Structure 1
Amino acid sequence: MAAVVVVVIVVLVVASGGKDESTTPAPSATPTAKTKQGQTREPSSERSDLISFKLDDRSQAGITNIWLVWTIKNSSSEKSNYSWDWEAVDAGGTRVEDGSQLETNVQPGQTARGEYPTTLKSVKGIKLNVTSFDRTASY
């Protein structure tokens, strides 16, 4: 039994080689996105595909009904998926809601509109922030 343990330890030490042979590059300070053709695209141009992202107060008859609504226009040359994280912050700087949204299979040049209900009680003094945004090629 002891011989098996020694053999396993020797194999692990020899296999590890004692040095880092990783070929994964270190993350860059400025994130970029790769397209199918391997071209790099700056995130600011991706973010500009989110044409509109706002709150829509549909409340009536004393019933609160506030929705997120958005418009995406695919300015790339390939079918794309979009995902983004957001937060709703009140006038005092407190986050009152947050979430993630997804829009898929948007064709080049196509505009897509979406909506999603919230649990917000008012839109007064609420500011929406997009905290991350990503466009990926859709296959």
Structure 2
Amino acid sequence: MAVIVIVVVVLVAVGGSDDSTTPAPSAAATSKASPGQAQEEPASERADLISFRLDDRSQAGLTDVWVVWTVRNSSGERSDYSWEWEAVDAGGTRVANGSELETDVQPGQTARGEDFTTLKGVKGVKLNITRFNRTASY
């Protein structure tokens, strides 16, 4: 008789999770403070997602659209990041969605990543973050 053991691992987010939908940050929106000006501490773990944008690499009639991100760990411990996103067209219709994961980001470290999408173009498309979590890496 075979015994099947199922193990379910539940990650508990450090400080909880944020389920509200917000526009994705862009590199322009997260510029550094000017010299001599104090830079504020991030208000929440979501502030660790420095940029999240679409990158249209299409050429020669072939569609090739990617999501590109930068995460900076502002916590004092090694962290994993997971988030869900949606792409919404100008009419408010969701045209794509997905999940991303960035693991083992050391305190103060910046990590960059990218993933392909099924989008047919980026004109008039807006990215929203629908869920964001930072958890301690073990």
When normalised by structure 1's length, the TM-score is: 0.70
Per chain length, whose mean CA-contact separation is higher, i.e. which structure has more relative contact order (CA < 8 Å, sep 6+)? 2
Partner of 1:109: 108
User: 1:41–1:75: structure 2 CA closer, same or farther, 3 Å change rule?
Assistant: farther
Which letter does structure 2 place at the counterpart of 1:125?
Answer: G
Distance 1:114 1:84 in 2: 13
Which letter does structure 2 place at the counterpart of 1:75?
Answer: S
Distance 2:65 2:17 in 1: 33
| Structure with greater Cα Rg | 1
Flag the structure with higher helix content.
1
Give secondary structure in 2 for the equivalent of 1:122. coil
Runs of 5+ unmatched residues, structure 2: 1-12, 19-42
Distance 1:77 1:107 in 2: 8
Distance 2:97 2:17 in 1: 25
Give secondary structure in 1 for the equivalent of 2:44. helix
Which letter does structure 1 place at the counterpart of 2:79?
Answer: S
Distance 1:87 1:113 in 2: 19
User: 1:63–1:109: structure 2 CA closer, same or farther, 3 Å change rule?
Assistant: same
Partner of 1:132: 131
Among the aligned pairs, what percent are the same residue?
72
Give secondary structure in 2 for the equivalent of 1:131. strand
The CA RMSD over aligned residues, in Å, is 1.8
Runs of 5+ unmatched residues, structure 1: 1-32, 35-39
Partner of 1:94: 93
Give structure 1 regions of 4+ aligned residues with deviation exceeding 4 angstroms: 40-44
Report the CA distance between 1:112 and its aligned residue. 0.3
